[in-house]
Structure 1
Amino acid sequence: MGVRPISQSGDNDMWVEDWALRAACRETAKPDELFVRGAEQNQAKQVCQGCPVRTECLAEALDNQIEWGVWGGMTERERRALVRRHPSASWRKILETARTRAQTASA
């Protein structure tokens, strides 16, 4: 358990199932710092930059329609806009596919 390959190419691309244990915010932020309002959200989003599990975190928030806080580098307003446009989407599947395509294109 933990991670599973998302591509058949044999490279190290993985979807992390236990992503919360690997999140940058786990080490660098207090939980309250990610649940702020207004301009403070931009600072909170900085914690997500370079996070190794940013995609997994974002998929979790989108698929579960989490309404509060910064998740995967997006505010609740930004996430709501995505969900409104695609209310029945599987965000994990969409983000897995996008990651695989981006990595394939850059290889």
Structure 2
Amino acid sequence: MYVINLRYTGALAEIDDALEAHRLFLDRQFAAGVFIAAGPKVPRDGGIILASAIDRERLDAILAEDPFWVEKLAHYDVIEFTAALLAPGLNLPTPSDAE
């Protein structure tokens, strides 16, 4: 599982101009079962994405398609961890679920 910390490197006006394309990118990854949560940070200086059921190499390739990355508007810090405890009722996708 991964926590992806986006830090904006562009001006908010540039972020806003690319936001629709970024959201379409997110929608595709949610539909593919890769991303399981996403949203802006408070204050709005970036965002957080949670990803599961994917290897790091494939995740890096996916992130390289994000319009924020393509337009050099954000930097990504990717943190991998193993979810050892989950809240009751929370079921995370497994690698076999995403195939």
- What TM-score do you get using the length of structure 1 for normalisation? 0.30
Higher helix residue share? 1
Q: Which has the higher contact order (CA 8 A, sep 6+)?
A: 2
- What TM-score do you get using the length of structure 2 for normalisation? 0.32
